[in-house]
Structure 1
Amino acid sequence: MGNADLVYPSSMNVECAHQVAIPPPVPFFKSFASNLKETFFPDDPLRPFKNQPLSKKLILGLQYFFPILEWGPRYTLQFFKADLISGITIASLAIPQGISYAKLANLPPILGLYSSFIPPLVYAMMGSSRDLAVGTVAVASLLTASMLGNEVNASENPKLYLHLAFTATFFAGVLQAALGFLRLGFIVDFLSHSTIVGFMAGAATVVILQQLKGILGLEHFTRGTDLVSVMRSIFSQTHEWRWESGVLGCVFLFFLMVTKYFSKKRPKFFWVSAMAPLTSVILGSILVYLTHAEKHGVQVIGDLKKGLNPISVTDLAFGSKYLMTAIKTGLITGIIALAEGIAVGRSFAMFKNYHIDGNKEMIAFGMMNIAGSCTSCYLTTGPFSRSAVNFNAGCKTAVSNIVMAIAVMITLLFLTPLFHYTPLVVLSSIIIAAMLGLIDYDAAIHLFQVDKFDFIVCMAAYVGVVFGSVEIGLVLAVALSMLRVLLFVARPRTFVLGNIPNSMIYRNVNQYPNAMSVPGVLILQIDAPIYFANSSYLRERISRWINEEEEKLKSQGEMMSLQYVILDMGAVGSIDTSGISMFEEVKKNIDRRGLTLVLANPGSEVMKKLDKSKFIDDIGQEWIYLTVGEAVGACNFKLHTGKPGHATAELEAKDNIV
């Protein structure tokens, strides 16, 4: 990189080099307990309970599990006015969506209304989000239909299918509550952003394809969810297509898309888009009733049972031979519902600058789904579309969920006969309009521009869902994400550092082309913890760096050969015994070459392990420095004076370093 003068600050003495401290020994069990606490209790939930009388601890405990007891006493009439408007608005969306998604799950439509009554009441008491609106979601409905439908035909054995759906919901709730109680919420974080983007887009595409059955008025349809099966089923029944149904579906889909576009352009009129699904149901029902379209190929919902949720605890199919299918369905749908609900809740909490507790949310989701499985509900979470309407309507607290539940209760008690003539094609149009919003083209383009591997993960999830199945797409995306993590751990990056002119700063020479190499010194930065999985690779990589540096100096005809190898350990947060063995082998290799190994900026955990393994005695503490600058200064002093270690003389201001 050419000759240049490296200028040290005049106050920089080599004798100023500070000795790296070895942390005091900590008993193993104390250290282990500290690590466990940081993993499972990073928010220190017991802190408010310390130094409190028993009665206060009891109150705080109840408020932890039932946040409504905390904010309820401060509730005001102004809050209620805002929550009343929000609750009525989301109820107008919840009723048609609930019926639509229940049909998507191959369940009786009335279950969509049941699922919008009990679970929101439970969440209002136990949830920590002010904006989340609880209800059924398309992706979980599709997963339920796909996974249970592979074992039991909903048309041939509807009672068993229904009981398995309740059982799957129960196990989803148990999983969610267990993750919250055991504080294992970090497991959900393994679903990366790119995985969720691709999976949701793929699931939305599959849902849209499934709705072609309703749009075209087909009575028989494939049980497969992949693109090939759906297309084959559609085009093999061209003689069964109903033009009346197709025209009606396209008209209502156009109406829904126009209202959504209008509300997006004019945010003040958010209620136009929110009311559009219920308006479509009303207009569609009136049209069918007046024209008797049900006699001309337009399928309708039919009779909906009046009354509140019947108890279904005795319907849980614990003794069924399909129990494992229900458990698997519950676990997968439960994880997906958690990821969506918590992500949505955190998004809106960020807008309003308040915090939601992920573990509390898991407990709330779990308890509402356990309660739901016992009261004729299937899986619920916090859907984005409904929560966005709740947020835009100006909700203040979770009371908006209570208002929505009361509106649904009134519908169940008095208004269900009005849905008799609701055409299925309108429900299909509502689902398609909602699903188009889940295909996030901008997010996929952003992934492609920023990180190609994340884009590949996203597309793998999408292609897997669309051309395989929902399960295949999810497994493929998670596997690729885990592979990336393993590759990062097993093949950590190492960099050659150079000096930024007129400073004591050392940076990657590839990132900073003006960074200058130091004659006789090779500075390497290790960018990850050192474990058994990467220790062999790092040993070989350091040897290659040394070989390449020596060959470069020889080819350039440099007068000064390589004398020192400095390892910047700033990014090495921890090390295991395999890593220590790697250092010992590197030290032996460097000694054989006649070079000196120098360590810079090792952390406390690393120093503790190196001290216990006696490696510090082997390398000599005089060759361990706080900073790369101090290490370079000591090496440079040794090269100029022949004296080792922490020198006592001041370096000249200019050393003519290459």
Structure 2
Amino acid sequence: MGNADNYGYPSMMNNNNNNGENTGIHRVEIPPPQPFFKSLKNTVKETLFPDDPLKQFKNQKPLRKFILGVQYFFPIFEWGSRYNFGFFKADLIAGITIASLAIPQGISYAKLGNLPPILGLYSSFIPPLVYALMGSSRDLAVGTVAVGSLLMASMLGAEVNPAENPTLYLHLAFTATFFTGLFEVALGFFRLGFIVDFLSHATIVGFMGGAATVVILQQLKGILGLEHFTHATDVVSVLRSVFSQTHAWRWESAVLGFCFLFYLMLAKFLSQKRPKLFWVSAMAPLTSVILGTILVYITHAEKHGVAVIGELKKGINPLSIMDLSFGSKYMTTAIKTGIVTGVIALAEGIAVGRSFAMFKNYHIDGNKEMIAFGMMNIVGSCTSCYLTTGPFSRSAVNFNAGCKTAVSNIVMALAVMVTLLLLTPLFHFTPLVVLSSIIIAAMLGLIDYNAAIHLWHVDKFDFLVCMSAYIGVVFGNIEIGLVMAVGLSLLRVLLSVARPRTLVLGNIPNSMIYRNVEQYPNTNNVPGVLILDIGAPIFFTNSSYLRERISRWIDDEEDKLKSSGETTLQYVILDMGAVGNIDTSGISMFEEVKKNLDRRDLKLVLANPGAEVMKKLNKSKFIETLGQEWMFLTVGEAVEACNFMLHSCKPISSEDGSQKWSNNV
């Protein structure tokens, strides 16, 4: 049999027995101790620098490090040397195409944010230039977004009425944009981009759908030609405002609005059916603006209840750095608005950038993108711009137009500059109802009911998160919807930590594989052995639950064995493969479980404990209490050792008539 250890079976923890034959069972090693500061350094590095951004700077000369540093923060200097005329032709076409979409969208979204329409054009000039220098995405087209505009209007409008005090409201918008940029730069610089990951896919689907619904309802003001309208964003207030003014509805405006909406939706449908005709949908908003302006100018419809934009100032962005209201009593509101809109803008911009990067098989750095977004918003806030990011609709047009690099953003910015310098007077007679139609057409695409149906079929809890975000936004406000969805998502994470799964494992016939007995009903039970899988790290949040759950599994197993008259339970094996970490509460839980098993004459066995778990169990002296020989690399090896003990030990009768096993061979 070989040398027996204290428990009566050969020392199977060693790779080889006395005859040099391999037993197939290996010792679980305790990792060598690491200095505290080195361990802390490794943890911080893995959390904040998993991609090791400094790797490229190692073993480089100072001049080369400087060049690499410039290229890291300004990627245009990295790919600019490879730029050629073929790329420029593609970027020129893409840039002009997205400019045709950016101009009407910019004006529309500025109105949605209760801001002067010219700010929409300003925000499509300076920020794209900044992003072209610092952004790492080839396909992202920068500009204002409807949800961000609505969010800013909702949060700032709750404190300052834009109609009664437009100057203060404008200054707060610039200030909120500045803090958005500061927040985004801080996240990117300190590599805290994982914070944005707390906005799950389900949250974004519900939030975007709810915000789009609210935006569409608010555009009824423009469609119906109403002059007075509620500043609230919930559906009840909006509908009350609409139907309380039926006497003020303008049929001329409604007919014009629905005609242009039909045209925009038809162009979108055609582009979806035939992707090569993407330019039809991209040009439709600008075409609508041109046709609407000509129609109003010829018919003098502005005199018959059709509201128009009015005068737009010529000239490029004036400086607004002196308009930042750092000393205002509404400073807290501006900071809160900046942070909330910053999170939403980052979630949309980075998700859009990564999606298109995946199609073209290249990588973008999320933290560098945050710095680029932050800088373009900081610079924008000082040059009469408000919140900008990478909207999906504009980026999709850029992608379909065949852009090659971020130069398409530069082309778009130059086209907007020409518009600002020469063409703004032409927008005087542009009807607001056309802008409302453009917004509605864009927002309908954000209500992704197919994604919600998919969530229902795949994960009911994700569907609940999605609908809570939607209902919160539509019937409450944007902040309520966001808090509800994020709160439910975090609750799910906390529940998964506080109530981790524990499963009974059985043996797949003719193998050394052990799997969940509910998932694989044909598995075989191991006589006298209960195998449990713990599915999460063990912390103070779940240690008490796991102790009680393990005890209940043991009670259930003993009752089942007693009723069937099978061999009594002797060993409890805990599969620790999914236990990545453990705290002192978890260690105390193991000590209590072992004491409980000792009182029942049962033996605790651990399988597949990780390095971090082994380090802490060793420092707490638990391994000495348990015995390292009762720790195995795999469940199969643990079962093999337990089976050896069961077949090598003699049965003895206990007082209750059941059989126990002696530890003597």
TM-score bucket (shorter structure)? over 0.9
Separation (CA, whole Å) in 1 of partners of 2:266 and 2:293: 20
Could you tell me which amino acid in structure 2 is paired with residue 616 of structure 1?
I
Deviations 1:399-445 (A, max 9, x none): 00000000000000000011011000000000000000000111101
SS of the counterpart of 1:271? helix
2:634 aligned residue:
627
Aligned pair 1:418/2:429, yes or no? no
2:229 aligned residue:
221
Moved over 2 A (4+): 11-16
Separation (CA, whole Å) in 1 of partners of 2:40 and 2:81: 41
RCO greater where, 1 or 2, for CA within 8 Å and sep 6 or more? 1
Could you tell me which amino acid in structure 1 is paired with residue 610 of structure 2?
G
Aligned pair 1:295/2:303, yes or no? yes
1:652 aligned residue:
none
Aligned pair 1:145/2:149, yes or no? no
Could you tell me which amino acid in structure 1 is paired with residue 486 of structure 2?
V
1:568 aligned residue:
575
Alignment of 1:445-594 (within 5 A): 445-558=453-566, 560-594=567-601
1:82 aligned residue:
90
Contact 1:188 / 1:338 at 8 angstroms: preserved in 2?
A: yes
Could you tell me which amino acid in structure 1 is paired with residue 296 of structure 2?
V
- In the TM superposition, what is the alpha-carbon distance from 1:15 to its structure 2 partner? 3.2
Moved more, 608-617 or 406-415: 608-617
Aligned pair 1:242/2:250, yes or no? yes
Contact 1:14 / 1:634 at 8 angstroms: preserved in 2?
A: no
Separation (CA, whole Å) in 1 of partners of 2:631 and 2:338: 54
Contact 1:637 / 1:643 at 8 angstroms: preserved in 2?
A: no
Moved more, 602-611 or 292-301: 602-611
Alignment of 1:104-183 (within 5 A): 104-183=112-191
2:208 aligned residue:
200
- In the TM superposition, what is the alpha-carbon distance from 1:576 to its structure 2 partner? 1.0
Match of 1:283 among 261, 276, 291: 291
Alignment of 1:39-118 (within 5 A): 39-118=47-126
1:650 aligned residue:
none
Separation (CA, whole Å) in 1 of partners of 2:263 and 2:415: 25
Contact 1:216 / 1:243 at 8 angstroms: preserved in 2?
A: yes
- In the TM superposition, what is the alpha-carbon distance from 1:554 to its structure 2 partner? 1.4
SS of the counterpart of 1:16? coil
SS of the counterpart of 2:604? strand
Could you tell me which amino acid in structure 2 is paired with residue 632 of structure 1?
V
Separation (CA, whole Å) in 2 of partners of 1:615 and 1:164: 59
Deviations 1:157-187 (A, max 9, x none): 1111100000000000000011111111000
1:393 aligned residue:
401
Could you tell me which amino acid in structure 2 is paired with residue 599 of structure 1?
L
Separation (CA, whole Å) in 2 of partners of 1:177 and 1:615: 46
Moved more, 609-618 or 37-46: 609-618
Could you tell me which amino acid in structure 1 is paired with residue 438 of structure 2?
I
SS of the counterpart of 1:298? coil
SS of the counterpart of 2:531? strand
Deviations 1:562-598 (A, max 9, x none): 0100000111111111111110100000000010111
Could you tell me which amino acid in structure 2 is paired with residue 609 of structure 1?
K
2:643 aligned residue:
636
Deviations 1:125-146 (A, max 9, x none): 0000000000000000001110
SS of the counterpart of 2:23? helix
Deviations 1:445-472 (A, max 9, x none): 1111111001000000000000000000
Match of 1:38 among 33, 36, 46: 46
SS of the counterpart of 2:557? helix
Gap change, CA 1:623 and 1:280, over 3 Å in 2: same
Contact 1:183 / 1:359 at 8 angstroms: preserved in 2?
A: yes
2:389 aligned residue:
381
2:195 aligned residue:
187
Gaps of 5+ in 2: 1-15, 652-665
- In the TM superposition, what is the alpha-carbon distance from 1:14 to its structure 2 partner? 9.2
Alignment of 1:401-416 (within 5 A): 401-416=409-424
Contact 1:301 / 1:419 at 8 angstroms: preserved in 2?
A: yes
TM-score (norm 1): 0.95
- In the TM superposition, what is the alpha-carbon distance from 1:617 to its structure 2 partner? 1.2
Could you tell me which amino acid in structure 2 is paired with residue 328 of structure 1?
K
2:613 aligned residue:
606
Separation (CA, whole Å) in 2 of partners of 1:132 and 1:553: 64
SS of the counterpart of 1:388? helix
Separation (CA, whole Å) in 2 of partners of 1:504 and 1:323: 65
- In the TM superposition, what is the alpha-carbon distance from 1:557 to its structure 2 partner? 2.4
1:616 aligned residue:
623
- In the TM superposition, what is the alpha-carbon distance from 1:643 to its structure 2 partner? 8.9
SS of the counterpart of 1:547? helix
Aligned pair 1:372/2:400, yes or no? no
Aligned pair 1:251/2:259, yes or no? yes
Contact 1:14 / 1:630 at 8 angstroms: preserved in 2?
A: no
Gaps of 5+ in 1: 1-10, 645-658
Alignment of 1:325-340 (within 5 A): 325-340=333-348
SS of the counterpart of 1:97? helix
Deviations 1:48-90 (A, max 9, x none): 0001111111111111110001001110000000000000000
SS of the counterpart of 1:354? coil
Gap change, CA 1:410 and 1:289, over 3 Å in 2: same
Alignment of 1:1-40 (within 5 A): 15-40=23-48
Deviations 1:194-240 (A, max 9, x none): 00000000000000000000000000001110000001000100000
TM-score (norm 2): 0.94
SS of the counterpart of 2:228? coil
Contact 1:526 / 1:571 at 8 angstroms: preserved in 2?
A: yes
Contact 1:216 / 1:241 at 8 angstroms: preserved in 2?
A: yes
- In the TM superposition, what is the alpha-carbon distance from 1:16 to its structure 2 partner? 2.3
Deviations 1:458-507 (A, max 9, x none): 00000000000000000110011111111011110000000001111000
1:654 aligned residue:
none
